[in-house]
Amino acid sequence: MLELRYYQSECVFSIFDYFRSGKTGNPVCALPTGTGKSLCIADFIKTTMLNWPNQKIMMLTHVKELIEQNGKALLKQWNEAPLGIHSAGLDDRNTHLPIIFGGIQSVSKTIKKAEINPFGHRDIIIIDEAHLLSPKEDTMYQYTINELLKVNPNLKVVGFTATPYRLKQGMIVDEGLFTDVCYDITGVDAFNRLIVEGFISPLIPKKTGIEIDISNLSLQAGDFNGKELLEASDKDEITYAAVKEMIEYGYNRKKWLVFTAGIKHSEHVAAMLQSFGINAVAIHSKLSKETNDEIIRAYKNDEIHALVNNNKLTTGFDCPQIDMIGMLRATMSPGLWVQMLGRGTRPADGKDNCLVLDFAGNTKRLGPINDPVKPKKPGKGGPGDAPIRICPECGVYNHASARWCINCGAEFKFESKLFKKASLAELIKSDNAPIVEYFNVHKVIYNLHIKEGSPPSIKVSYFCGLQMFNKWVCLEHNGLTGKHARDWWRQHHYEEPPITTYEALKRVNELRVPNNIRVHINKKYPEVLGYEY
């Protein structure tokens, strides 16, 4: 069994806290790609079933890889889980076990063919990659959920996604099935903290010498017209120049992943890479399932250097070793953009970062992975532009407010040229990036803290030489604040926390005192992140 990271534990708690608070909607948890949503799903299911054994749960998603990945995570956390799989791709059609992990295509087809819903009463539906659920009534997700609601009108749906927004909808909680975001660590501060803590690998954007011209393309369903995009992208001169840059900048990169605008485009890019001596293979929907699976297996086993894909590896593809992305797929969808970038954010041994060569101009158009230009509802208008700064030393995009280059560390001067009329052209917004330092603790003082309108708390003051850092422990608060306080007590004491602050203050002399603390220092109020004993 794997121990949950602090944010995974918070995520699971937030779901229970959401329903415990009396809310009656369907919540969403937003976690960046690579931070372990499958483990959150597994722990939520295990905790639910162990506390309420009669619950019937179903996890739905759109690709067999996620079904398999989530299933393995559940069995690793709870090897006695009554888990059944319902997926044509995995050749399993279980319908009766208390926990079903299923593919939405297979589940919806099974319900349509049966006279009586074979999955019976279900209490909770979990949807992985919840941003794929359209608010329209004629989708497989909507049909399946409506059929399950006929059996149990009190059915609850919990969503997990790295991108809680959709083109032509805006935020997925603004309209449709989902109603609230109960946990979100996809924003700037939380995302950058995950990088500092080593849970996410940084993305390094390199300004490319060539860029696909999409200025005359029309839009279709909110994104570029597919046929026009393919014509603009699949040109020999563009492919040749892009491949040359990939080879120049990726000479020391171990695993390349290339996104293209069409099937023929992927084949042409792979052939061009091969002509330069790069072991590259194209993967797309016209190949058989067995062929695609074999290509992915070979890629993960280091038998293929560059994997060139069209619409196959945007979600559900887990290969932490990817350290260079070649972007030849232009899009207007921030969700698709963030999902594609997410293929490079998983950390791996020997991997310092992931280089991104954006030949499609998505960076300037859609912004960084932790602060993308989110879509708005039709008629609500669009976002404006923001300036960018390009490092004169290494050519990497940075946010206009950056003082040092995120790639080479060069210090910017105020007279550095700013390019107007361009959107955010960095891949990780860095103006609020955490600066974390370690401090030796010389003494700790605990005081009662009273704030009008709130329960009492403990103000913990860590004295580190001439500096002092404060931490508020709020044992009597509800929600995540109270959970954080109880977790803090367990970390500093071997017994469960007292119920009241006054009881806790009587026992502070029993608490362990850390030798060192880890502090996020460049916040208005510095935050203590961790302790060493």
For the record, the structure tokens of 150 come out as 């006929």
| Cα dist from 210 to 22, 245, 443, whole Å | 54, 9, 58
Distance CA 134, CA 156 (A): 17
Q: Put the strands of the sheet holding 436-440 in their side by side order.
A: 436-440, 516-520, 527-532
Are 282 and 269 contacting, i.e. CB atoms less than 8 angstroms apart? yes
Distance CA 157, CA 69 (A): 20
Mean pLDDT of the 71-85 span: 95
Distance CA 268, CA 532 (A): 54
pTM of the prediction?
0.79
Distance CA 43, CA 37 (A): 10
List b or e across 355-384, with b for residues whose CB sees 16 or more CB atoms inside 10 angstroms.
bbbbbbbbbbbbbbbbbbbbbbeeeeeeee
- In Å, the largest CA–CA distance within the chain is 75
Secondary structure of 90-121 in the HEC alphabet? CCEECCCCCEEEEEHHHHHHHHHHCCCCCCCC
Q: What is the pLDDT of residues 220-279, one digit of tens each?
A: 878 899 999 999 999 999 999 999 999 999 989 999 999 999 999 999 999 999 999 999
What is the percent of the chain with per-residue pLDDT over 70, rounded to a whole number?
89
Q: Put the strands of the sheet holding 280-283 in their side by side order.
A: 203-206, 354-358, 324-327, 256-259, 306-309, 280-283
pLDDT of residue 166: 85
pLDDT surpasses 70 at 483: yes
pLDDT band at 420 (very low <50, low <70, confident <90, very high): very low
pLDDT of residue 192: 87
Strand ranges (E), 414-478: 418-419, 436-440, 443-449, 457-464, 467-473
pLDDT band at 154 (very low <50, low <70, confident <90, very high): very high
Mean pLDDT of the 279-283 span: 95
DSSP symbol at 21? T
* Domains (range + CATH), the chain: 6-186 (3.40.50.300), 201-419 (3.40.50.300), 436-532 (no CATH)
pLDDT band at 416 (very low <50, low <70, confident <90, very high): very low
